[in-house]
Amino acid sequence: MKCIVESRKFRLWIEGAEILKGVDFCAPRNSISVIVGPSGSGKSTFLKSINRIIEIHGSIRRDGDILLDGVSVYSLDPVEVRRRVAMVFQIPNPFPHLSIFENVALPARVNGVAKNKSELNELVRWALEKAMLWDEVRDRLDKKPGVLSGGQKQRLCLARALAMKPEVLLLDEPTANIDVINAKKIEESLRELKNEVTIILVTHNPNQALRIGDFVNVMYDGRIIESGPVREIVFRARNEIALKLLSEGW
Ligand code: ADP
Ligand code: MG
């Protein structure tokens, strides 16, 4: 199976503490790979290692590698990596002082995704439609995101990530802080998006993993201890810890 993101024995130390202890991972192209596991097991750290946002936080040391389409992300320009691998965080973080339109347009413009005004308008509309937000904001694109609900803000962040036309989309518990209706919209959007972008989703919700995941990876204490097609893993977890986590929730 061809992996668009692949890690091999990836280890990471933050301020001298070993957080990731040899992560083997593969995200097949145009699929949704879910990462589950208890709090503190290293899920967010691993996502941030894929697009190198982890380096913004401070002093890290690593061993092993993470490949993006066969090339080490650590051999590429980090700015290019973050354009090709976009991220949506747990707490919706739109730019508060920019309009709804500019929230989506700015990263696209900065990264040169749209060449002129009409391309940019098209792109913003496309991204908002994909994030299932267009109908709710089309009449107030000039307003600040403060007028939106938490769930709408998160869909705006999804649109902002999509407007960069990334190859990979990382989502770190994107529905943990929003209501069920908004969470469903995001799930529906992701299901459709996987035809255009490879998705890696961290979730705390086993049902969400079942509903939208193609592959599941169980992370525990800095390693992925079980991985495979969702149904196979959920119903026949081989590893005892994985089985416990999956049956008792995480
Ligand atoms: P998860 O997302 O699975 O809950 P995290 O990746 O956030 O786990 O954290 C994994 C471990 O790394 C935790 O023990 C956490 O305290 C530690 N950690 C995360 N970020 C930092 C940091 N910037 N500095 C020091 N330790 C960190
Ligand atoms: Mg986390």
Q: How many domains does the chain have?
A: 1
- In tens, the pLDDT along 182-192 reads 999 999 999 99
- In tens, the pLDDT along 118-163 reads 999 999 999 999 999 999 999 999 999 999 999 999 999 999 999 9
Closest ligand to 90 CA?
2
Structure tokens at 70: 């066969």
- In tens, the pLDDT along 168-220 reads 999 999 999 899 999 999 999 999 999 999 999 999 887 888 889 999 999 99
- CA of 45 from ligand 1 middle (Å) equals 6
CATH number assigned to the domain comprising residue 206 = 3.40.50.300
Full residue range of the structural domain in which residue 39 is found: 3-248
Closest ligand to 36 CA?
1
Q: Answer whether 40 contacts ligand 1 (Cβ < 6 A).
A: yes
Q: Answer whether 43 contacts ligand 1 (Cβ < 6 A).
A: yes
Q: List the beta bridge partners of residue 198.
A: 168
